[in-house]
């Protein structure tokens, strides 16, 4: 979602050519720079779709995660693990969602140290509308065929696995 006119050339490929001439092989630099730029594009698109609903992507992800849980409740620790966030970040996200009436906290029935988080009816209703908005723009992912999206997910999964994101 460009807010300006497109450039008449690909600046990443131009930088890659200069890198090749002055530093050495540019393959990795060009790939990383492309991923970073695409991340900016996708975040901008998703944030734009979620903003009218009063959500950020992190808050949206938390609501989605809660709806995916079997009982509709998750311990905050598990939310952090699944969202791959620091406990402080999870607390901040849940605080904001709770302040908006989108989630509720309840004590864990068997572990006094744990708190369970569950999505409220208004949270589920908002999530449904927000999901319509992000899927209407395809999460900002334009220009790829469905099989290419699958291939991209698989390729990026290899990088994530190598970084220790998952086994």
From 56, 32, 29, 53, select the one nearest 44 (Cα to Cα): 56
Q: What is the pLDDT of residue 109?
A: 87
Q: pLDDT tens digits, residue range 30-87?
A: 999 999 999 999 999 999 999 999 999 999 999 999 999 988 899 999 999 999 999 9
Residue spans of the domains in the chain: they are: 8-53, 55-136
CATH code assigned to 55-136: 1.10.10.10
Residue 4 has a pLDDT of 81
Predicted local distance difference test score (pLDDT) of residue 114: 87
What local confidence, expressed as pLDDT, does residue 72 receive?
A: 83
What is the structure's pLDDT at 111? 87
What percent of the chain clears pLDDT 70, i.e. is strictly above it?
A: 98
Predicted pLDDT of residue 25: 95
Q: How far apart are CA 15 and CA 3, in angstroms?
A: 22
Q: Which residue has the tokens 């969202």?
A: 83
Whether the model pTM is above 0.85: yes
Average pLDDT in the chain: 94
In this predicted structure, which of 19-28, 70-79, 87-96, 116-125 has the lowest mean pLDDT? Answer: 70-79
Residue 71's pLDDT is 87
What are the pLDDT digits (tens) for 146-161? 999 999 999 999 999 9
pLDDT category of residue 3 using cuts at 50, 70 and 90: low
pLDDT at 2 over 80: no
Residue 85 CA to residue 62 CA, distance in Å, equals: 11
**d(C-alpha 34, C-alpha 27), whole Å:** 11
Cα separation, 126 vs 92, whole angstroms: 19
Q: What is the mean pLDDT of residues 83-104?
A: 96
Angstrom distance (rounded) from CA 10 to CA 6: 9
- Distance of alpha carbon 143 from alpha carbon 32, whole angstroms: 19
């Amino acid at each position: 979602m460009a807010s300006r006119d497109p450039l008449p050339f690909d600046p990443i490929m131009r930088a890659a050519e200069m890198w090749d001439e002055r530093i050495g092989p540019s393959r990795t630099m060009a790939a990383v720079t492309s991923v970073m730029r695409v991340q900016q594009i996708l975040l901008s698109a998703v944030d734009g779709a979620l903003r009218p609903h009063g959500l950020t992507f992190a808050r949206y992800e938390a609501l989605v995660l809660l709806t995916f849980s079997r009982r509709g409740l998750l311990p905050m620790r598990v939310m952090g693990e699944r969202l791959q966030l620091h406990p402080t970040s999870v607390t901040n996200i849940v605080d904001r969602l709770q302040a908006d009436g989108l989630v509720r906290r309840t004590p864990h029935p068997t572990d006094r140290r744990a708190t369970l988080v569950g999505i409220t009816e208004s949270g589920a209703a908002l999530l449904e509308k927000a999901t319509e908005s992000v899927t209407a723009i395809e999460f900002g992912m334009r220009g790829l065929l469905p099989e290419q999206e699958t291939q991209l997910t698989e390729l990026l999964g290899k990088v994530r696995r190598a970084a220790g994101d998952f086994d």
